[in-house]
Amino acid sequence: MLENFLPNLPFTKWVSDFVSWLTSTFDFIFSPLESILSSIMNIIIDVLEFIPPVIFIAIVMILAALFMNKKITAAILAGIGMLFILDQGLWDNMISTLTLVLVSAFISVIIGIPLGILMSRSKMFEAIMKPILDFMQTMPAFVYLIPAVAFFGIGMVPGVFASFIFSAPPTIRLTNLGIRQIDNELIEASDAFGTTSMQKLLKVQLPLARPSIMAGVNQTIMLALSMVVIASMIGAPGLGRDVLSSLQRADVGTGFVAGLGIVILAIIIDRFTQTKKSA
């Protein structure tokens, strides 16, 4: 009954029109952005693929031994994981996935940390950003693929775009939270000694918020990895594509192995970004 009285707003059409309008109006931004980003990513992929797997694995193991709490076991496990990926013929796809994840995480961080800082400084900006971040995180990730394709065509770049929207919120939130949670006495100490607001930010707030910010970056990377499979639906190369194609062919074995590759990559990246020493 009630339906008869509601106006049945043409919301679907509005959104479609809005996205078309964005696409055509800002094409002068999207097109060059697409070509720049994709050429950068291709260069990264070429470089990483150029490194022989043996050396690549050795470098990862050495870095793991140095940074992961200086434990040899971490290095050995990382090495075994990488060897498994190589053995299963997933190496090139792994490199593509790694590039996709690193680039989108990098973009999330360079945009997310400043946004988080701004949020920590203004209650108003925080109030505006919070629902937007909720929206970004809870909207099913598939939905972002549609405008991403409209803006950037298919391939890596729309994948990065969708990953960015889905994975940036933790960095933004935890930067804001990390700065807001700083003990007020430490902020008073900073002010009492006459810091400029830039000195306060760089010498006091960011170092004190670092553990929180790092947790946010870690979460961002993990979310970006989880977007990999979804991004493969719009032609992003990588391990996700193997998972997707095996899903379409009901090929359990291939799907599982490719999925395992993502898990191994995730664990290695996670340990690298998580186990920074806390002074």
Residues engaged in binding another protein (CB under 8 A): 183, 185-186, 188-189, 191-196, 199, 203-204, 207-208, 210, 279
Cα–Cα distance, 230 to 159 (Å, whole number): 8
- CB contact at 8 A, 218 and 271: no
Cα–Cα distance, 44 to 99 (Å, whole number): 7
Instruction: Provide the Cα torsion 27, 33, 36, 41; round to 10°.
Output: -120
Minimum Å distance from CB 277 to another protein? 11
- The residue (of 55 and 279) whose beta carbon lies closer to another protein is 279
Minimum Å distance from CB 217 to another protein? 17
- The residue (of 2 and 192) whose beta carbon lies closer to another protein is 192
Cα–Cα distance, 103 to 161 (Å, whole number): 10
Minimum Å distance from CB 199 to another protein? 6
- The residue (of 13 and 277) whose beta carbon lies closer to another protein is 277
- The residue (of 37 and 217) whose beta carbon lies closer to another protein is 217
Burial (Cβ within 10 Å: 0-12, 13-18, ≥19) of residue 176? buried
Nearest 5°: phi and psi at 276? Answer: -70, 140
Report DSSP state, residue 85.
H
Backbone Cα Rg of the chain: 22
Count of beta carbons in the 10 Å neighbourhood of residue 192 = 9
- The residue (of 195 and 245) whose beta carbon lies closer to another protein is 195
Minimum Å distance from CB 186 to another protein? 5
Minimum Å distance from CB 154 to another protein? 45
Q: How many residues does the chain have?
A: 279
- The residue (of 4 and 184) whose beta carbon lies closer to another protein is 184
Cα–Cα distance, 201 to 45 (Å, whole number): 36
- The residue (of 140 and 194) whose beta carbon lies closer to another protein is 194
Minimum Å distance from CB 174 to another protein? 17
Q: Which of 184, 177, 187, 169 is nearest to 209 (CA)?
A: 177
Minimum Å distance from CB 279 to another protein? 5
